[in-house]
Amino acid sequence: MCNKYDKIYIVIVTYNGMPWLQKCLDSCKDYPVIVVDNNSKDGTVSFIENNYSKIKLFKQSFNLGFGQANNLGISFALKHGANHVFLLNQDAYIVDDCLAKLVWHQKNNPEYGVLSPIHLNGEGSKLDRLFSHYLSYDYNETFYFDAIKNKLYPIYQVPFVNAAAWLLSKNTLDKIGGFDPLFFHYGEDVNYCQRLNYHGFKVGVVTSTFIMHDRERVLDQKNVDYNSIKEKEKQYKIRWANVNIESQTLIYNRIEVLKKRLFKSYLKFSFKIANNCKAELRLIKRIKEGIYISRTINKKLGKHYIE
């Protein structure tokens, strides 16, 4: 499906990726691969240098975060003539001719700024659990019905799909740019899809293509800090809500709402609500200038964050 004029680069961000690395890189076959390593400590860099000499490796002295590391790889790909860039997680594996099919569909449906394959679990035996939510009735009311009837369409539009396996065209990158550096890790793909929708692009899932997302293989529930996770989710939700250029609610409106809620909560002796309001106000104070800059930049078309 691809021809000699389709120059495709795969960009992979690594951080202590040894449990998956060989299978991930081998699945990329003969496509040119760019790896941006976020200062791994587990031998990831030396493994690539010793076994994959053709890979372009960017070794970082500190962790850039997921979005900015991808931006580095995307920038290199575009400067070297890429027509398409495929972002692949270090814990994901390309299945068969997935990439060729994605490129064909994107060329024939240029309104799709992001195309994703179906995400299977690490064994390829069922859908990845989180991915299944992106095709649920609330996001696409026909997908599962069509699957039951065995009448799937080639592409299903969704508002969001996580960036474990994204195909981005040069046209998309020229007009939307890269990931917003306001997001270090988590939330950058949500923000990117918001920007795509704002500028008239679509996000889609191609039903004839697959990756395996092997994220469940090394989960260690004993080491999970659930309080830390909840705190990070809270912070990113605030960023998502206020950086979202599709929303007309500005950060300053949110501040006024929180101040009024804080005052009422004190009158009612609702100290838990008051503490939540104060925590959100402190966070907004730290990031509001960055949010304002982000909204201003992202409302315009351009190669933001990758030039």
Number of neighbouring beta carbons within 10 Å of residue 50 = 9
Domain containing 87 — which CATH number?
3.90.550.10
Q: State whether 275 and 205 are in the same domain.
A: no
Among 115-124, 180-189, 244-253, which is the least confidently predicted range? 244-253
One domain, residues 238 and 202? no
pTM listed for this prediction: 0.86
Residue 104 neighbours by CB distance under 10 Å: 19
Local confidence band at 185 (pLDDT 50, 70, 90 cut-offs): confident
Please, what is the average pLDDT of the chain? 88
Domain-terminating residue out of 188, 213, 238: 213
CB contact at 8 A, 275 and 269: no
Instruction: Answer yes or no: do 242 and 208 share one domain.
Output: no
pLDDT at 250: 67
- Domain annotation covers residue 63: yes
What integer is the mean pLDDT of 245-251?
69
Question: Is there a single domain that holds both residue 76 and residue 192?
Answer: yes
95 lies in a domain? Answer: yes
Q: What is the mean pLDDT of residues 2-26?
A: 88
pLDDT digits (tens, 9 = 90+) for 249-280: 667 777 888 899 999 999 989 999 999 899 88
What's the pLDDT band for 225 if we cut at 50, 70, 90? very low
Residues 101 and 209 sit within 8 Å (Cβ to Cβ): yes
The answer to whether the beta carbons of residues 116 and 131 sit under 8 Å apart is: no
Residue-wise pLDDT for 162-181, tens only, equals 999 999 999 999 999 999 99
- The verdict on residue 306 lying in a domain is no
Q: Which of 213, 233, 266 is the last residue of a domain?
A: 213
Give the structural domain span for 249: 223-298
Percent of the chain with pLDDT over 70: 89
Task: Determine, yes or no, domain membership for 2.
Answer: no
Query: pLDDT digit string (tens) for 35-74?
Result: 999 999 989 999 999 999 999 999 999 999 899 999 999 9
- Do 234 and 199 lie in one domain? The reply is no
Residue 94 DSSP code: E
Are 233 and 86 in a shared domain?
no
Average pLDDT over residues 110-138: 94
User: Do 248 and 206 reside in the same domain of the chain?
Assistant: no
In this structure, the dihedral spanned by the alpha carbons of residues 269, 271, 273 and 276, taken in order and rounded to 10 degrees, is 150
Of 52 and 286, the structure prediction assigns the larger pLDDT to 52
243 pLDDT above the threshold of 90? no
129 & 173 share domain: yes
pLDDT at residue 58 in the model: 97
**Same domain flag for 137 and 240:** no
C-alpha closest to that of 36 among 8, 61, 7: 61
pLDDT for position 118: 97
- Asked whether residue 5 carries a pLDDT value surpassing 80, the answer given is no
Residue 305 within a domain: no
Establish if 137 belongs to a structural domain. yes
Residues 31 and 76 in one domain: yes
Token pair listed for 266: 């004190």
Asked if residue 138 has pLDDT above 70, the reply is yes
Among 231, 292, 284, CA closest to 259:
284
Contact, 85 vs 74, CB < 8 A? yes
DSSP bridge pairs for 35: 12, 57
Quick one: 240 and 281 in the same domain? yes
Q: Of the segments 130-139, 196-205, 254-263, which one has the largest average pLDDT value?
A: 196-205
Counted domains in the chain = 2
Full DSSP string of 138-178: TT-TTHHHHHHTT---SEEEES---TTEEEEEHHHHHHH-S
Positive or negative torsion for Cα 172, 174, 176, 180: positive
Residue 3 token pair: 């021809």
What does residue 278 show for φ and ψ, rounded to 5 degrees?
A: -65, -40
Q: Is residue 178 part of a domain?
A: yes
Is 208 in the same domain as 228?
A: no
Choose the final residue of a domain: 189, 213, 237: 213
Does the residue 1 lie in any domain? no
What integer pLDDT is reported at residue 286 of this predicted model? 80
Residue of 84, 116, 127 lying closest to 103 (CA atoms): 84
